[in-house]
Structure formats: C-alpha cells, structure tokens
Amino acid sequence: MSDHINRPVLVLNRHWLAVHVCTVRRALSLLYQELAHVVTEDYQTHTFESWRELSKYGERHGLKSDDYIKTPQFRLRVPRVIVLGRYQSSPPRTVRFNRRNIYLRDGYRCQYCGCRPAHDDLTIDHVMPRSRGGRSTWENVVLACTKCNTKKGDKLPAECGMHLMSHPKRPPWLATLRIVPSPDDRSIWEHFVDSAYWETNLKE
C-alpha cells in the first residue's frame, strides 16, 4: 500500500490545465474534503463517494488488484488525475534557468558525444562562445564532457567538426519535477500534458 499511496497524480486546475503533481495520499485527501474530483480516461469526474462506488466494479473492467488501495472498510481505485474545484491559476510559464534544470534537460549526457560521465566531468558549454557574444540562455547552453568542451574551446561546433545531439531549448515545466509516470499513468496524463514533456530527457 505504501508504494501506491506515494504514486504521482496529475493535478488539473478548474480549467483542466495541468498545474502540479501530488501523491495519491494527497489526492485522496483533497477528494475526501470535496476540494477535487477524480478524472477518468473518458473525461468523467467523480466525487469521493462516486469513486468509492465505482471502485467496487473495477475488476469487471480488467483492473488489476494492485490498482487499488485497501482500507478496513472498502477498496479504492488509485486515481491518476484529479481536477481542483477552485484553483484556477495557470501552470508556470517559465522554468528557472539554473544548473540543476540544465542537467535535467540534457539527461546528464554530453550533448556532443552522448557519453554520460561522472558528475564532476560534466561542464556547461556555450554553443555560441561568450567570447563571440554568446549569451547564457536555454537556447545557447548544453552539457559537455570535459574532453568535448576542451576540443570545442571558443569555436562553433561546425568549426571543429562537432555536432549537437539535439537543438537546445527551454524544457517544459513538468519535466523539471523529475516525475516519470508509469505506462498506465502516462496513457491518461497524455490527454493533459504537452507532448514536449514526453520528449524531454530525464535523469534515470
């Protein structure tokens, strides 16, 4: 049960925009307090009582026994998405530009050779060197191993026969939470989370 109670649940605001991720424990608390409803694959919403009632018939629809949380009185299906009844703020529009998020975006890999060295052997490289006017922005910095960074120096990648694995860009906000949903969770999360989230490299 402890594993299930700490599983991630996607949180939508009242306009059905993804704004946060919480645990199953927190989601059920919000549901019980009537501050949120569970959202199903077919976009139906359920209160605590209707979700409890629906949970009685889950096995008829192919749900596995480990899709439930058991209490002394009843069983509850594990929710995967909830929608808040009052909160209407929009999701964050920016991701903080810092070392941690650069490492998360690039998956702790050198963006030139693809290796994943020890943490101390990774550096942050400016694609357009600062000596040539390059700025410290999402679109101009990448992770590079010491060897590749030394080889590139103050040149552009093309000038020294190097190529980026992917074009650097600002990551989606949810990716920086380091949440990796299960395949079952992902199937419903995809209805509400931008596709860019699934294409972002995360720390393994």
Mean pLDDT by 10 residues, the chain (204 residues): 77 86 91 94 92 75 62 84 80 75 90 94 96 95 96 95 93 68 78 66 46
- Residue 177 pLDDT: 65
Residues 10 and 85 in one domain: yes
Compute CA distances 188 → 53, 65, 176, 185, whole Å. Answer: 21, 19, 20, 6
Residues 42 and 87 in one domain: yes
Q: In whole angstroms, give the CA distance from residue 121 to residue 182.
A: 31
Kindly state whether residue 165 falls inside one of the protein's structural domains.
no
Kindly state whether residue 168 falls inside one of the protein's structural domains.
no
- Residue 131 pLDDT: 94
- Residue 111 pLDDT: 97
Kindly state whether residue 25 falls inside one of the protein's structural domains.
yes
Show the tokens assigned to 188.
């419903």
Q: What is the pLDDT of residues 38-93, one digit of tens each?
A: 999 889 999 999 998 888 775 554 455 557 787 777 788 899 999 998 766 665 55
Residues 103 and 79 in one domain: no
- Residue 170 pLDDT: 87
Q: Which CATH number goes with the domain that contains 119?
A: 1.10.30.50
Containing structural domain, residue 8: 2-91+174-198
Residues 81 and 115 in one domain: no
Residues 22 and 60 in one domain: yes
Q: In whole angstroms, give the CA distance from residue 141 to residue 96.
A: 14
pTM: 0.61
- Residue 203 pLDDT: 44
Residues 87 and 128 in one domain: no
Segment holding 148, helix H or strand E: helix 146-152
